[in-house]
Amino acid sequence: MEWSLSLLLNHPQILRKAQNEIDRKIGKDRLIDELDVVDPPYLRWIINETFRLYPTAPLLLPHESSQDCIIEGYNVPRGTMLLVNQWAIHHDPNVWIEPKRFNPERFEGLEGSRDGFKLMPFGSGRRGCPGEGLAVRMLGLTLGLLIQCFDWERLSDKTHNMMEGPGATMPKAEPLVAKCKPRLEMQEVLSQL
């Protein structure tokens, strides 16, 4: 959530585009709900792009090779502990065009949240994270509500620092600090809460 909001505050045109899409698809007379999260594709693209740039953990959980094999010329004996560096895959210029750039539109036309093995913030296959569906749905709902209900601003003209801090879960080096105010278009709905 913190990475998503930081990216949106550093790219206000993308934040406005997401607000406009939510206003068009959901309207201004009710709050976005869990079933709506599937419909606004731009919100899904923002979430995918955030997971690509800042996955929850840079390395997937370790696995063990079940048989001897050779991968890219490297001999991998049976029983070897394997780690997948998803951060490196998500930032590889051979896989992604302009991999350091925040560009939600790169996911246009993608059905679901997967792009083969290019994007795998929750792992893949039968050993993927069982909480992926819940995490994506809750992030989509919460981020959608924050976009729909509030106008967001940075505290200064300076962009947010997007450096990763130390740790296994890739926290931001500097916490997000921003200001928000209820959107005029949503004041009536918010007053009924």
Residue range 9-57, pLDDT digits in tens: 999 999 999 999 999 999 999 999 988 887 779 999 999 999 999 998 8
Q: Looking at residue 50, what is its pLDDT? A: 96
Which of the four pLDDT bands, split at 50, 70 and 90, describes residue 115?
low
Strand partners, 181: 151
In this structure, how many other beta carbons lie within 10 angstroms of the beta carbon of residue 100? 10
- Angstrom distance (rounded) from CA 133 to CA 137: 6
Alpha carbon distance 149, 98 (integer Å): 32
Domain ranges of the chain: 2-57+87-191
Residue with tokens 């976005």: 32
Quick check: 144 and 32 in contact, CB under 8 A?
A: yes
Scan for tokens 């585009």, then name that residue.
Answer: 17
CATH number of 2-57+87-191: 1.10.630.10
